[in-house]
């Protein structure tokens, strides 16, 4: 019996050591959103209402080697009517000097340093089916493939408050065909943070470029551009503005030209975003505007000549009900033009709901 107890103790001890040695540190976070959206389009389209039931669950994994290098990654499960896993996360190595490098699915450095511009909370939006290709995000020209790396500097790189990064991604080896694809890309970005009296100012941006490959006609300017933004925080008030300009494309598998035939779409666009938010007690008030425009063309290598545009204004009031629980009322109005003509894809939408986060 004594031998059996000793063997059992040794087994438990061994399993315990093995379990600790094989387990990385894991942290989790997530949220559940429940609300209702009320959408009103033009007079020729019936109004609609939808119950929004959305949840997400995020797991972050990290561990530090004996040499002090931290190895980390993460994954996310999102349920917005259908469950989907986010597998676009890189393996990140953070070194003792504060610098880091991301391997695979690293993204583009020009997008890393986009300045956060305040915007309305809520899940309201106006859906449309036109071929309008005006961009809505300032980093729309910052593309990358899964075979990419990104280097991040430590904080206060070369100057106090400055951080920089650089990225490169390469051909994924897919066979070229009539559908355009991004073959390789590079990007450089930087963020600078300083103070002026009681105000903290953040300036950030980047440039990106990439090559599009397909067996047909090539895009006249491939994929690439720049973005620049600035935000200022004074106490409970935050103001921000961002701008992006560049070239992009929609592959034939996802884009349908005005003629109704699937084709690669070349896009030359720009977008401006501005917003303000203010916190007073348990209330957060937010207002944001976005103005995007683009010239698109279904003939690769021949730029478009008429403008698409999308202008939107959104506002919201968020009330902190309890720790991790917030109630949201949001409103959005959208005006669109396609090929220089006003379309029926604009409209407005309300959202009333609650979010529980952990």
Per-residue pLDDT of 208-257, as tens digits, reads 998 887 776 666 668 899 999 999 999 999 999 999 999 888 887 655 54
Give the model's pLDDT for residue 63.
Answer: 93
155 is a domain residue: yes
DSSP character at residue 118: P
Binned at pLDDT 50, 70 and 90, residue 176 comes out as low
276 is a domain residue: yes
C-alpha–C-alpha distance, residues 17 and 350, integer Å: 55
Give the model's pLDDT for residue 192.
Answer: 96
152 contacts: CB under 8 Å, gap ≥ 6: 99, 100, 101, 102, 112, 163, 164, 165
The mean pLDDT value of the chain amounts to 83
- Better-scored residue on pLDDT, 247 or 81: 247
Give the model's pLDDT for residue 89.
Answer: 77
User: In the predicted model, is pLDDT for residue 286 greater than 50?
Assistant: yes
53 token code pair: 């039931």
CATH label of the domain that carries residue 48:
2.40.160.10
The size of the chain, in residues, is 358
Per-residue pLDDT of 158-171, as tens digits, reads 999 999 999 999 87
Write the burial class of residue 284 (CB in 10 Å: 0-12 exposed, 13-18 middle, 19+ buried): buried
Q: How many domains in the chain? A: 1
Give the model's pLDDT for residue 257.
Answer: 47
11 is a domain residue: no
> Is 295:271 a contact under the CB 8 Å cutoff?
no
226 contacts: CB under 8 Å, gap ≥ 6: 110, 141, 205, 206, 207, 208, 244, 245, 246
12 is a domain residue: no
31 is a domain residue: no
Give the model's pLDDT for residue 258.
Answer: 44
User: In the predicted model, is pLDDT for residue 7 greater than 60?
Assistant: no
> Is 211:143 a contact under the CB 8 Å cutoff?
no
Percent of the chain whose predicted confidence (pLDDT) is above 90: 45
Residue 345 C-alpha from the chain's centroid:
24
251 is a domain residue: yes
Give the model's pLDDT for residue 6.
Answer: 40
User: In the predicted model, is pLDDT for residue 96 greater than 90?
Assistant: yes
Range(s) of the domain holding residue 274: 36-357
304 is a domain residue: yes
188 contacts: CB under 8 Å, gap ≥ 6: 109, 110, 164, 165, 166, 167, 206, 207, 208
Q: Give the CA distances from residue 14 to residues 1, 6, 10, 212, in Å, rounded to whole numbers and listed in that order.
A: 20, 12, 6, 54
Q: Average pLDDT for residues 15-36, to the nearest whole number?
A: 74
Give the model's pLDDT for residue 171.
Answer: 79
User: In the predicted model, is pLDDT for residue 314 greater than 60?
Assistant: yes
DSSP character at residue 262: B
Lowest-pLDDT choice from 19-23, 59-63, 203-207, 318-322: 19-23
8 is a domain residue: no
Lowest-pLDDT choice from 64-73, 111-120, 172-181: 172-181
The SS3 call for residue 177 is coil
Q: Average pLDDT for residues 316-321, to the nearest whole number?
A: 95
Its pTM stands at 0.80
User: In the predicted model, is pLDDT for residue 175 greater than 70?
Assistant: no
């Amino acid at each position: 019996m004594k031998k059996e107890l000793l063997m059992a103790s040794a087994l438990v001890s061994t399993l315990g050591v093995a379990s600790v040695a094989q387990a990385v540190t894991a942290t989790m976070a997530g949220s559940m959103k429940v609300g209702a959206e009320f959408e009103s389009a033009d007079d020729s389209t019936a109004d609609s209402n939808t119950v929004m039931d959305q949840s997400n669950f995020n797991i972050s994994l990290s561990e530090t080697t004996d040499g002090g290098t931290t190895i980390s990654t993460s994954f996310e499960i999102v349920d917005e009517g259908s469950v989907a896993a986010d597998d676009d996360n890189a393996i990140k190595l953070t070194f003792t000097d504060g610098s880091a490098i991301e391997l695979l699915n690293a993204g583009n450095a020009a997008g890393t340093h986009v300045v956060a511009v305040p915007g309305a909370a809520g899940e309201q939006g106006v859906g449309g089916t036109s071929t309008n290709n005006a961009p809505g995000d300032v980093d729309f020209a910052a593309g990358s493939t899964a075979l990419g790396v990104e280097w991040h500097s430590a904080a206060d790189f070369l100057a106090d408050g400055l951080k920089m990064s650089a990225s490169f991604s390469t051909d994924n080896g897919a066979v070229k065909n009539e559908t355009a694809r991004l073959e390789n890309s590079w990007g450089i970005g930087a963020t600078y943070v300083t103070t002026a009296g009681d105000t903290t100012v953040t300036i950030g941006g980047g440039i990106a470029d990439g090559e599009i490959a397909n067996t047909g006609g090539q895009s006249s300017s491939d994929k690439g551009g720049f973005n620049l933004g600035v935000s200022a925080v004074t106490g409970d008030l935050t103001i921000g503005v961002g701008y992006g300009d560049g070239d992009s494309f929609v592959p034939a598998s996802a884009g349908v030209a005005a003629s109704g035939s699937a084709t690669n779409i070349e896009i030359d666009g720009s977008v401006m975003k501005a917003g303000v938010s203010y916190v007073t007690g348990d209330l957060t008030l937010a207002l944001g505007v976005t103005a995007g425009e683009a010239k698109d063309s279904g003939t690769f290598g021949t730029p478009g000549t008429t403008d698409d545009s999308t202008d939107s204004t959104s506002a919201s009031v968020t009330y902190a009900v309890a720790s991790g629980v917030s109630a949201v009322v949001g409103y959005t109005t959208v005006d669109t033009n396609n090929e220089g003509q006003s379309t029926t894809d604009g409209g407005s939408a309300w959202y009333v709901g609650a979010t529980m986060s952990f």
